[in-house]
Structure 1
Amino acid sequence: MGEGLTDEGRYDQGMAVRREVLSDAHVDRATANQTALSADFQDFITRVAWGDIWSRPGLDRRSRSVAVLSSLIAHGHHEELAMHFRAAIRNGLTIDEIREVILQSAIYSGVPAANTAFRIANEVFGSSD
């Protein structure tokens, strides 16, 4: 966890976790597209989301991915769903497990939310027809 680390240490830890979860290619694109307007936000998410929260020992990365997918589906944050479907695979979930997360979300977040999540999952993983 980021406890006792300097801001620089939290950033470095966060960047390492961010790269492991999202891939070097994704993080390289995000940093290359960083602007003066978004630089502070990129620093913030690297230090706080990745350096503090994703680095905590209380849940493994598979469990964190399930929580993130469920939350993104529930709140309709579709712009990040594809990225986190790929991250979930990197964190050890299978496509079958991701299907179950989406089905579970249909009960608690609604059929339209799950329908959209399945559409995005099909775009990411391809159709199994």
Structure 2
Amino acid sequence: MPRPRSKTLFEAPSMDEKERYEAGMQVRRAVLGDAHVDRSLQNLTPFNEEFQEMITRHAWGDIWTRPGLPRHTRSLVTIAMLIGMNREGELKLHLRAAKNNGVTRDEIKEVIMQSAIYCGIPAANATFHLAEAVWDELGVESLHP
């Protein structure tokens, strides 16, 4: 007997490529800030243009617009994954952007503490230093929702 299905791609209302790009760009700007997104767009080249369109459409338009998790939670999940993957550049970007999603400094501290157990002490230690450097650069004592 077939299992009952949840709403699938074929049953869900779908956006066309342009709509997904536009929705993705709106979320990307809200999370990362206009200045960062504008810099990214100004640095488009024939080599990276399709990649930038793809991440706007899929990462931001397909995933960050999903209703299952609020942006606040998505920020924390993203930070945790980037710690585990040791992706310092992207981690720095998302540490900066977390404030736009109402993430607090204490919440980031807890994510880093938990990452020490699951990702290793060196990863957590490096992230504590990176987070403090980001906050010094931004001139903030703490992040507030």
The answer to whether TM tops 0.5 is yes
Provide the rounded CA distance (Å) in 1 between the counterparts of 2:127 and 2:36. 21
Identify the structure with the greater helix proportion.
Answer: 1
Distance 1:63 1:99 in 2: 14
Higher CA-based Rg: 2
Using a 3 Å threshold, how does the CA distance of structure 1 residues 3 and 43 change in structure 2: closer, same or farther?
farther
Provide the residue aligned with 1:67 in structure 2. 77
Displacement of 1:3: 4.5
Q: How does 1:1-129 map to 2 (within 5 A)?
A: 3-126=13-136
Instruction: Give the residue type in structure 1 aligned to 2:17.
Output: D
Deviations 1:76-129 (A, max 9, x none): 01111111011111100111111111111111100000111111101111297x
Which segments of 5 or more consecutive residues in structure 2 lack a partner in the other structure?
A: 1-11
Query: Percent identical across equivalent pairs?
Result: 51
Q: How many residues align?
A: 127
120 and 9 in structure 1: CA distance in 2 versus 1, 3 angstrom threshold: same
Q: Distance in 1 between matches of 2:68 and 2:60?
A: 14
With structure 1 as the length reference, what TM-score do the two structures score? 0.94
CA drift at 1:64: 0.4
List structure 1 segments (4+ residues) > 6 angstroms apart after TM superposition: none
